[in-house]
Amino acid sequence: MTRQSSHWGDFDAVLDADGNLQISPDPRDAAPSPLLGNISANLRQRIDRPYARRGWLQSVRAGRAPGPDNRRGKDEYEALEWSEAIELAANELGRVIAQQGNSAIYGGSYGWGSAGRFHHAQSQIHRFLNALGGYTSSRQTYSLGAARVLFEQVLGDDRPLSAPTSWSALAGTELFVCFGGMPAKNAGVNAGGITNHATALHLREACQRGARFVLLGPQRDDLATELAAQWLALRPGTDTAAMLAMAQVLLEEGRYDRAFIEQYTHGSADFFAYLSGTVDGVPKTPEWAARLCGVGACELRDLAREMSGRKTLINLAWSLQRSRYGEQPLWAGLALAAMLGQIGLPDGGFGHGYGAVGGFGTPRNPLPLPTLPQGRNPVGDFIPVARVADMLLDPGGAYDYAGERRRYPSIKLVYWAGGNPFHHHQDLRRLSTAFAQVDSLIVHEAFWTATARHADLVLPCTTHLERDDLVASREDRRLRFVEAVCPPLGQSRDDYGIFRAIAARLGAEAAFSQGRSERQWLEALYEQWRQQMTPHAMPHYPYFRAAGECELPAIDEHTVCFADFRQDPVRHALKTASGRIELFSARLHALGYPDCPGHPAWLGPGDEPEPQAAAYPLSLIANNPASRLHSQLDHGAFSQASKIQGREPLTLHPRDALALGLEAGQVVRVSNHRGQVLAGLRLSDDIRPGCAQMATGAWYQPGPDGCGVDCVHGNVNVLTSDVGTSRFSQGCSGQLTRVEVSAWHGPVPSGNAHGAPGRKHS
């Protein structure tokens, strides 16, 4: 039996004589994640050996430089020996660097990969490309693109994300006001690993001691039923209007904390003028908001009054900022919390992400963790991560980011390891066109994801089950040594081994590997870390390895976000222009962006602009799935059990289904001006009428020629919009769009979403 780890929990694993993987969760985990039910799929449907796309291979074997090619995603693949695959990768990297320079390589390579400190695909690829002289990189994440950029501007840093008030300091909260809920599915995972799933227990304890929960959002099941929350079923993307209206009630009724606003915030006069309508003639009353949000004005007014009299935590789900104008709900929620005056105190204030990932609310370990150094990237070019298709489609084009005017570099080679852009990016037709522009796409993958199926060179990598590693996330209290359950499957190699071999062909082996094997790296990373930890006495490597884990030094488990600022706003002034929380930003105002003005504002629902908004009757929520992590292990048993007729489920309210003449369990077509996907229909009265919900992560599988369906398996990102949250943050806005849903009358195409693409038989 060996101890293993994943983003969704630790487990013991045994591979029996028949090759079946037996899994048992770590008994110390209070509530193990059901996603462990997908783990054994790591051993199935693997890429067995290196492959090259036929059209690309023909060019390079004939000695021609490859170029843009719209056969990516449709072409056949040819098996390669590793020696040739390494040579081809090295030659192409060498050619692009020599002819175009290192900035012509895009190595942003976004993605969650798998848990592990050394076999961390992003660290590996960045270290490798830095050893070759650098690459065009990416900034921010698909998770929090708008949040971090906005927080830097109006709070001076991202402390609501990096140092939130701990659960232990919320033990006296009386009222949890949850915009977008705190869904158990999201709290089940944590980037880098999680030893204990405690979020549901914290919420249950709060409920048992009498705290009240209010959920504002279109889906009732975004909060556990046992919390007996009051559900205000907002229209998707209208949270800002509800927040502004509650702020207006506090202002009009004199219920806001004037002393807090005066001492700790900047720009309240501009914000209050907007609330009361002196700027635009529209007072942001509950009646005004009710028409936009579809909830009662009385409920909003009552909630505002209740919040002003109780210890209240306002929590915003991360999904709120993952749509057009995603900065606004964040800023409006922060302003509302500031008016309540509880920021910097225990039991209340502002939160952005309780329930978004499992570790949120557990204080981060401030001490270092063993970390693979990534080296230095001398190339200054970068993009905000979600603008990858814009960059590939518009080399040299101008764009704005964080208040600066920049230009997209011209990319010839894209290298990806540890992510799946055909899962995480929006408007997949457009992404396909974007990937057709480059000369070469090199991908390390264990599975035939759509990203691998678009690659020119597919290099098969191991999964975490085939590797030893060191594991701990920032919120963990133990560093673990995990052991491979089995040797590498097929001809797969660790990312490290692949990069090392290519680096050797390019004369960069010493810079990349420092001559160390994987085992030597694990020991070196651990020992370097152990020395950094002095005076804490951590065990020497052989003892740590034999024990399988070591406890990390104890830290203060009781933290209150902004406590220092509240205690002394001069000494602990924020790093904003004013030193305070900015309710008005002179810089944003001066930038003059209509989609991110100088104070929190209602700019629209953020799903689709007219005329599309009017053309498609249903508001679609494209959120993170409950049955897998993102797109990982979609072929696993737990994920497969959620499918309907082999498609990703689409949820509608029974009333909408009745009006459309649809029944639960049937295959439906979900479409808008970007494309069409098939889905299996599920009905629930936990969703607001007029809305549809479809999770991300079903693997992209284009329909047979002529059937007109972009994805027969139900990849919702065919339908979502590839536009930045605003000119300021340029975050991912994939959460909301609009669609129509109709019965699918054609034959239901059989699926090969998880299998190998066509191969050339020589």
Minimum CB separation of residue 71 from ligand PGD in Å reads 22
State yes or no: residue 423 binds ligand PGD (CB under 6 A).
yes
What residues contact residue 126 under an 8 Å CB cut-off, 6+ apart? 107, 109, 135, 137, 374, 375, 377
> Look-up: residue for tokens 């908001």?
289
**Among residues 447 and 616, whose Cβ is nearest to ligand PGD?**
447
Q: Compute the C-alpha angle 7/481/477, nearest 5°.
A: 65
Q: Which of residues 6-45 bind ligand PGD (CB under 6 A)?
A: none
* Position 126 contacts ligand PGD (CB under 6 A): no
- The closest of 629, 648, 730 to 389, measured between CA atoms, is 730
Cβ-based nearer residue to ligand PGD, 240 or 632: 632
Which one of the spans 84-92, 105-113, 564-572, 703-711 is the region binding ligand PGD (CB under 6 A)? 105-113
Q: Please tell me what DSSP assigns to residue 743.
A: E
Give the contact letters, 143-182, x = binds to ligand PGD (CB under 6 A), - = no: x---------------------------------------
Sign of the CA dihedral with 604 first, then 606, 612, and 614 last: negative
Report the SS3 class of residue 601.
coil
The answer to whether the beta carbons of residues 391 and 398 sit under 8 Å apart is no
Minimum distance from CB of 119 to ligand PGD (Å)? Answer: 5
Give the Cβ contact number of residue 277 at 10 Å: 14
Quick note: the x/- pattern for ligand PGD over 696-715, rule CB under 6 A, is: x-------------------
Catalytic residue among 8, 77, 106, 110: 110
Between CA 57 and CA 87 the distance in angstroms is 12
* Residue 144 C-beta: closest distance to ligand PGD, Å: 8
Which residue blocks in 624-664 are alpha helix, DSSP H? 637-641, 654-660
Compare residues 124 and 238 and give the one whose CB is closer to ligand PGD: 124
Among 301, 322, 324, 688, binds ligand PGD (CB under 6 A): 322
672 lies in the binding site for ligand PGD (CB under 6 A): no
Name which of 312, 161, 245, 275 is nearest 583 in CA terms.
275
**Which uninterrupted H or E stretch holds 522?**
helix 518-532
**Nearest CA among 451, 308, 414 for reference residue 92:** 414
CB of 108 to ligand PGD, least distance (A): 11
Q: Is 630 in the site for ligand PGD (CB under 6 A)?
A: yes
Q: How far is the CB of 276 from ligand PGD (least distance, A)?
A: 35
Q: Which residue has the tokens 């002179």?
A: 586
User: Cα(49)–Cα(529) distance, rounded to whole angstroms?
Assistant: 35
Q: How far apart are CA 6 and CA 10, in angstroms?
A: 6
Q: Binding to ligand PGD by residue 631, rule CB under 6 A?
A: yes
CA distance 341 to 348: 9
Cβ proximity of 279 and 244 under 8 Å: no
Could you tell me the smallest distance in angstroms from the CB atom of residue 605 to ligand PGD?
Answer: 16
Q: Crossing angle for the helix pair 518-532 and 495-505, nearest 10 degrees?
A: 110
Binding of ligand PGD at residue 734 (CB under 6 A)? yes
418 is a site residue for ligand PGD (CB under 6 A): yes
Strands (E), 520-604: 549-551, 581-582
Residues 454 and 434 sit within 8 Å (Cβ to Cβ): no
Q: Give dist(CA 672, CA 677) in Å, integer.
A: 9
Compute CA distances 22 → 6, 37, 38, 339, whole Å. Answer: 15, 10, 12, 53
Contacting residues for 89 by C-beta, under 8 A, at least 6 apart: 442, 457, 459, 502
Contact with ligand PGD (CB under 6 A): which of 56, 77, 112, 728? 112
Q: How far apart are CA 438 and CA 456, in angstroms?
A: 10
If binding is defined by CB under 6 A, does position 733 make contact with ligand PGD? no
Measured from the CB atom, the residue of 136 and 623 that comes closer to ligand PGD is 623
Nearer to ligand PGD, 410 or 420 (CB): 420
Query: In this chain, which of 37, 66, 113, 217 binds ligand PGD, going by CB under 6 A?
Result: 113
- 3-state percent breakdown (helix, strand, coil) of the chain, nearest 5: 35, 20, 50
Q: Choose between 444 and 682: whose C-beta lies nearer to ligand PGD.
A: 444
Q: CB under 6 A: which stretch of 215-223, 291-299, 502-510, 626-634 binds ligand PGD? A: 626-634
With respect to ligand PGD, which residue has the nearer C-beta, 272 or 416?
A: 416
> Contact between 419 and ligand PGD (CB under 6 A)?
yes
CB 569, CB 383: distance < 8 Å: no
616 token code pair: 């498609």
Q: Which of these ranges, 11-19, 232-240, 306-314, 627-635, lies near ligand PGD under the rule CB under 6 A?
A: 627-635
Considering the complex, state which of residue 500 and residue 630 has its C-beta at the smaller distance from ligand PGD.
Answer: 630
The helix (run of H) or strand (run of E) holding residue 516 is none
- Residue nearer to ligand PGD on the CB measure, 311 or 424: 424
Site size for ligand PGD (CB under 6 A): 37
Question: Which two tokens mark 399?
Answer: 């764009």
Question: Of residues 75, 78, 469, 495, which one binds ligand PGD by CB under 6 A?
Answer: 495
CB of 551 to ligand PGD, least distance (A): 27
* Cβ-based nearer residue to ligand PGD, 75 or 722: 722
Query: Which of residues 314, 417, 450, 560 is near ligand PGD by CB under 6 A?
Result: 417
* Residues 291, 296, 298, 299, CA torsion sign: negative
Could you give the CA distance from residue 520 to residue 626 in angstroms, rounded to a whole number? Answer: 38
Q: Which of 106, 118, 142, 616 binds ligand PGD (CB under 6 A)?
A: 142
Report the residue from 122, 362, 410, 735 that binds ligand PGD according to the rule CB under 6 A: 735
Q: Which stretch binds ligand PGD (CB under 6 A): 280-288, 406-414, 513-521, 617-625?
A: 617-625
With b meaning 16 or more CB within 10 Å and e meaning fewer, what string describes 685-723?
ebbbebbbbbbbbbbbbbbeeeeebbbbbbbbbbbbbbb
| Residue number with CB closer to ligand PGD (482 or 560) | 482
Task: Tell me whether residue 145 or residue 749 sits nearer to ligand PGD (CB atom).
Answer: 145
**Residue 210 three-state SS:** coil
| Nearest distance in Å: CB 242, ligand PGD | 21
In this structure, what are the phi and psi dihedrals at residue 318, rounded to the nearest 5 degrees?
Answer: -60, -30
Which listed residue (8, 77, 106, 112) is catalytic? 112
Q: How many CB atoms lie within 10 A of CB 396?
A: 8
Q: Is residue 622 part of the contact set for ligand PGD (CB under 6 A)? A: yes
Residue 316 · residue 240 · CB < 8 Å: no
- Residue 112 is a catalytic residue: yes
Told to judge if 110 belongs to the known catalytic residues of this protein, a careful annotator would answer yes
Q: Which stretch in 247-255, 543-551, 629-637, 660-668 sits in contact with ligand PGD by CB under 6 A?
A: 629-637
Q: How does DSSP classify residue 70? A: T
Instruction: Pick from 46, 53, 119, 647 the residue near ligand PGD by CB under 6 A.
Output: 119
Q: How far is the CB of 121 from ligand PGD (least distance, A)?
A: 4
What minimum distance in Å lies between the beta carbon of 636 and ligand PGD?
11
Is the CB of 205 or the CB of 518 nearer to ligand PGD?
518
The pattern of x and - marking residues 440 through 469 that bind ligand PGD according to CB under 6 A reads ----xxxx-x-----------x--------
| Rounded Cα gap, residues 464 and 483, in angstroms | 9
Binding status of residue 420 toward ligand PGD by CB under 6 A: yes
Q: Does 725 bind ligand PGD (CB under 6 A)?
A: no
Find the shortest distance in angstroms from Cβ 148 to ligand PGD.
13
**Catalytic positions, written as ranges:** 110, 112
Binding site for ligand PGD (CB under 6 A): 111-114, 119, 121, 142-143, 319, 322, 417-420, 423-424, 426, 444-447, 449, 461, 495, 622-624, 629-632, 696, 716-717, 720, 734-735
